[in-house]
Amino acid sequence: MALLSPYHTASALLLGLGLLAGCTAPQPGTQLPGLNVGQAALDSGAPQIALRISTVKLAQSPNDIDALVMQGEAYSETGLPENALIDFNKALALAPDSIPARLGLGRLALATDPLKAETLFLAVVTEQPRNVAALNDLGIARDLQGHHAEAQKAYALALGVAPDARAPMVNLALSMALSGQASQARNLLAPLAAASDATPRVRQDYALASELTGDHATATQVLQSDMSPSQAQAALSGYDALVAP
């Protein structure tokens, strides 16, 4: 099975499928309680709260690196990549070695230039080989280029550091599904998709793996738990196109 060509067409579909970017962990002892609340909001999928908190902090301290990175991540999550780019670049101008800001730039590049993103993530991994977020994001960048075997190596390294990390586990399974290992991927995703705290994206990835194993009925049922029948059918068509010969 081959990815659609050119790779950026596949990239758009892959990003829609729900490759899970890692969260940039706050540096110990560097964040005020307010920023800790903002980080928790980002981690739980509430970027608007993080945006408000970081904006208030930056009004008081315009050069606060943690607040700049948080605001950049919040802008990215709310569909304002241009604003995010400004924040990450300002953070790097103030602190050129800021790992969170470098990861932020890499994630912005995923949608348009995954090769550039891979280069940025590799530089971080070279410095911090056990950085789970960087390893996970490196895998995403490789998957978006169709380099699934190399992507799976990155996810495996991330899981070697943090065996219970959900993002690299889900991404590993999705990568396997896209590289002819749909049955194994489905086995990995099944317990995650059935968990009480499973997100729609994880269920969609399980539906993809099910569809690629030929279990159209399960894929349809899983998708329709989160979307309308017409939306589910459109998603299934996208899954089939993603791995069309």
Structure tokens at 198: 């499973």
How high is the pLDDT of residue 110? 95
Q: How far is CA 1 from CA 97, 107, 191, 192, in A?
A: 40, 27, 26, 25
3-class state of residue 175 by DSSP: helix
3-class state of residue 3 by DSSP: coil
Least confident of 25-39, 81-95, 103-117, 152-166: 25-39
Please report how the helices 114-127 and 132-144 are oriented relative to each other, as an axis angle in degrees rounded to 10.
150
pLDDT digits (tens, 9 = 90+) for 12-64: 445 555 566 665 544 444 444 489 999 999 988 899 999 999 999 999 999 99
pLDDT digits (tens, 9 = 90+) for 123-137: 999 999 999 999 999
The domain ranges of the chain are 180-245
